[in-house]
Amino acid sequence: MNDQSNTSHSTPRKILKPRRLALLASVAGLSMAVLATGPGGYLPFGIAALTSPAQAAEPAQNTAGFADLVAKVKPAVISVRVKIDGDAEHGAMVQNEGMNSDQSDNPLDQFSRQFGFRAPDGMPQRHQVITGEGSGFFISPDGYAVTNNHVVDHAQSVQVTTDDGTIYTAKVIGTDKKTDLALIKVEGKKDFTYVKFSDAQPRVGDWVVAVGNPFGLGGTVTAGIVSARGRDIGAGPYDDYVQIDAPINKGNSGGPAFDTSGNVIGVNTAIFSPSGGSVGIGFDIPAATAKLVVAELKDKGYVTRGWLGVQVQPVTADIADSLGMKQARGAMVDNPQDGSPAAKAGIEAGDVITAVNGADVKDARDLARNISTMAPGASVKLDILHKGTARTVSVALGEMPDDHQANAGGDHAADLAGTPHLGLQLAPAGEVAGSGDKGVVVTSVDPAGPAAEHGFRTGDVILNVGGNIVSNAADVRAALNAAKESGKHSVLMRVKTADATRFVAVPFTKEG
């Protein structure tokens, strides 16, 4: 069979409304008067201020804009081109751009699917080669570069094109699915132009300039402002995105967003898109997160995270009132896992964790983010409300179970493409905050697969398959294969959803 190939552009992951908007409005004939100038008398984007006739006769000087900034940073930005083997094992989970926008009632469900590699006539078949394009940027003169994990995930080969048009081969040093970051390395030169991550937190309203490879148009520059910080978009347990309104589109994935000093304030990774294109709501992985992750990827090729070993829930106003708390803040412990660092430190169900090393804990997600940034083995002090009494305990953090095996080809978030096929990606429940410690969590659902037809959603927890307790993707595969070998065409699964625990009989199909 002859190999086939097709090309598209890796896109920021997207929140898609259940109904795609068909009309893109444009407005002409509007005029704008700028009543105040920027610092030093400059006008943003070169918009002309109201002037007197005498002033209008004077030649324009010091025209505002970002040209000097762009000239400084643009040579450090690269276009990333990947080739992926589109056979059934990976192709079953590859999503056609925009094809599933009407499949989900929850727009956040789209975040757990990978976008950007377009295949004709549905899913790719065996022996196809899929090509995709994204963005990235050098962070050192010897060729280390940052991009998104979803740009290089499953890539057979990676090529980068620099601003001067030179093409280089790159290798993947390490990836981190939980933050959607990847580190790649280009050999052959020691004097690449590079950029640095910002040490300062961006402020809402600050200017931001994005440079990348949208739709394969490398070296494209867009500008806007920081619209918000600390966004939780339902993409993962450590969501803490910077929201920007500089337009980013397919192919911008993995590219940098700069402040006016030329430092990277975030890595472009996701967009809100009811229309399929940019509507001025983009999301960036913050520089502070990227610096920590990239440093570990460079050092070890994978990321290790601190682990407390508790299942937690938010503190509601009613819970706070019942416990005598003045504010509904902190994370309430549902259940410390047996043998976990938390259990060894005496933390019990019903305790409320209110601070980590003196820093207040806002909610359960805030606790997960804080602990994940700490190294395994680190000693942390937790402020606890225990049966109405405040106390402080010291906990030696463990290592997030199976975290680095995931990046070395383990079965964390492993897909179940194979024989038989359900169209699911799964991760052990203990590795996903708020999912408990039993079973496996659904992290992605193929809308064309049998599981989707039977109501499976991202976040569901599979506890039992064919009468067998499951704790990882390998257990699920084994149970499915056992059912197939016994001549069955469906398998009974016990599933915990947000509302209840139920049994579901799911037919499975063979991969061709």
Whether 469 contacts 453, CB under 8 Å: no
| 240: annotated active-site residue | no
Whether 242 contacts 231, CB under 8 Å: yes
* Token pair listed for 94: 């590859």
Tokens 């699964």 correspond to: 493
CA dihedral (199, 201, 207, 213) positive or negative:
positive
Which of 253, 278, 372, 435 is catalytic? The answer is: 253
Which of 79, 101, 109, 150 is catalytic? The answer is: 150
Least Cα distance to 268 among 280, 288, 249, 283 occurs for 283
* Token pair listed for 275: 């229309």
Q: How far apart are CA 507 and CA 495, in angstroms?
A: 15
| 180: annotated active-site residue | yes
E-only strand ranges, 47-180: 77-85, 128-138, 144-147, 155-161, 167-176
E-only strand ranges, 128-263: 128-138, 144-147, 155-161, 167-176, 181-186, 207-212, 220-231, 241-244, 256-258
Whether 348 contacts 336, CB under 8 Å: yes
E-only strand ranges, 119-179: 128-138, 144-147, 155-161, 167-176
Which of 180, 351, 383, 460 is catalytic? The answer is: 180
The H or E element containing residue 90 is: helix 88-91
Query: What phi and psi values does residue 317 have, to the nearest 5 degrees?
Result: -60, -40
Q: How far apart are CA 448 and CA 509, in angstroms?
A: 12
Spacing of C-alpha 372 from chain mean position = 15
Q: CA dihedral in degrees (32, 47, 267, 112; nearest 10)?
A: 20
| 454: annotated active-site residue | no
- By three-state DSSP, how is residue 294 classified? helix
Q: How far apart are CA 347 and CA 197, in angstroms?
A: 37
The answer, yes or no, to whether the previous bond of 59 is cis (omega within 30 of 0) is no
262 torsion bin: left (phi>0), alpha (psi -120 to 50), beta (else): left
Alpha-carbon Rg for the chain in angstroms: 25
Least Cα distance to 277 among 7, 6, 17 occurs for 17
Burial of 180 (0-12, 13-18, 19+ CB in 10 A): buried
Spell out the SS3 assignment of 394-406. EEECEECCCHHHH
Helix (H) and strand (E) counts for the chain? 11, 29
Residues serving a catalytic function are 150, 180, 253
